[in-house]
Chains A and B, each alone.
Chain A
Amino acid sequence: MALQNANPVIHERKATRRQRPSIGDESAVEEIDALEHLRDIRDPEHPYSLEQLNVLAEEGIEVDDKQSSVLTLPRLRVRKIPGKLFVCGSWIILAVNKQLNDKERVVAAMENPYLAQTVRDCLAPLEEYE
């Protein structure tokens, strides 16, 4: 299957932040935590992480506390993120978030062994930093 982005531009991975911003700026803390968790997720079609492919960058992350979801503002090109979701523009983000927030659908999807394994493979690099 031909890759949609066969010759990706590789960006540098920023060093992992260890410093936290001051207490009281809670949503800033959550944004950095979110980036820490998401930056190393590997795109299943490439050997590089989402950050290296510039799919994710710190400026683009917003934490929506009420809906318990992490939105990433779009600088996203058309590509697949774990499993079966296409991401292209902000309205797609909302549809994706509704799916991800529907725990019944997520649970049912994760009962699919192929999908569960794909997600585990994408999250595997995170274990190196634990």
Chain B
Amino acid sequence: MEAIQELEGHTDRVWSVAWNPVASSSNRSVLASCGGDKTVRIWEGDCSDSSSSSSSWNCKAVIDSFKRTVRSCHWSPDGKLLATACFDGIGAVWEDVGGDYECVATLEGHENEMKSIAWSASGTLLATCGRDKSVWIWEMEAENDFQTVSVLNGHSQDVKTVLFHPTEDILVSSSYDNSIKVWAPDPNGDDWSCVQTLAEPNQGHSSTVWSVAFDADGKRMVSCSDDLLLVVWDTSTNPLESSWLSFIILLPLIFKFCLFRKHLCTLSGYHERTIYSVHWSRRSGLIASAAGDDAIRVFAEANDPSYTSRAVFSMVGKQQKAHSTDVNCVRWHPKDDDILASAGDDGLVKLWRILS
């Protein structure tokens, strides 16, 4: 992989980056970044620019009204709104109004630092989580008015990440308590509850799970952890895709839990420090990871993906010293298969091209 851009501007570590899913096309991309300098920066440029001297990349907006570190940012599926999670415990939704970003909604309720915020596939739900161990689900009732749908307690420690399934209204959360929890709406639709916990007994993680990512259709999920492992999970909702034996065993459970996740594969021995972020490309199927050993790694599937009861991945790329210190986040470009964005403790956002 080669570095194609270095975006400078943040004055403290950058925690997260997010590509605008709609505005990013082949010759113009929009990227949001947020960090310890209490700002969100919106960058715009052309990913085919590889020379920094004639770079089209510029920082087109800065949101600097935050009171504490902005930990995470996420664009809505239609690309019109940006949601942010801040250590002051307040979530915010921002809209581009003539070049300036205005706050159109706030989500208050967490007792301390909010760590992550995520939109559902429909764009009508938001989920938040934080150090108070809770996960909140919010629904857009009217234009830019979000109401609490559920306050979900279940994790025993700090919740690091929340993420919705790419197509279904299913939420996944990962925590300092070493587990991943799956949440779904109750049959009567009034409330949400935990339908599965993936922890060490399920061949899960033995330390903090920092992040999760789904593949393009949500049939599989990968999680990353302080235990230096990446774990790939089968999250296909149709149990018929599993073996016939497990289908028969599961038959009584199918009606209660149509969503059954199981361990597929563990990637060990690759990372030397905590893995902070993982992302699964919707287009190329590659998995990228960001770790505290300053490296970005890329993994590809080594077997037929239609063989769903097993999965084999191997590392196909590694960028050592991707940043001069920890890499906190990696995100694949939504349209361009080869482009990856990363954020680091060095205060930089970097763009990379994967070379075949």
Contact = CB atoms under 8 A, between A and B. Distances in A.
Contacts of A108: 69, 87, 113, 131
Interface residues of A, number: 10
Interface string A69-104: 000000000000000000000000000001001111
| A interface majority secondary structure | helix
A102 B176 contact: yes
A68 interface: yes
Contacts, number: 29
B219 interface: no
A94 B56 CA distance: 49
A107 interface: yes
Nearest to B160: A104
A98 B207 CA distance: 9
A105 B131 contact: yes
Nearest to B292: A103
A108 B86 CA distance: 10
Interface residues of B, number: 19
A26 interface: no
Contacts of B160: 104
Given A108-B69, A108-B131, A101 B226 contact: yes
A128 interface: no
A105 B157 CA distance: 12
A111 B273 contact: no
A111 B176 contact: no
B69 A105 contact: no
Contacts of A105: 131, 158, 176
Interface of A: 68, 98, 101-105, 107-108, 111
Interface of B: 13, 36, 68-69, 71, 87, 113, 115, 131, 158, 160, 176, 207-208, 226, 273-274, 292, 326
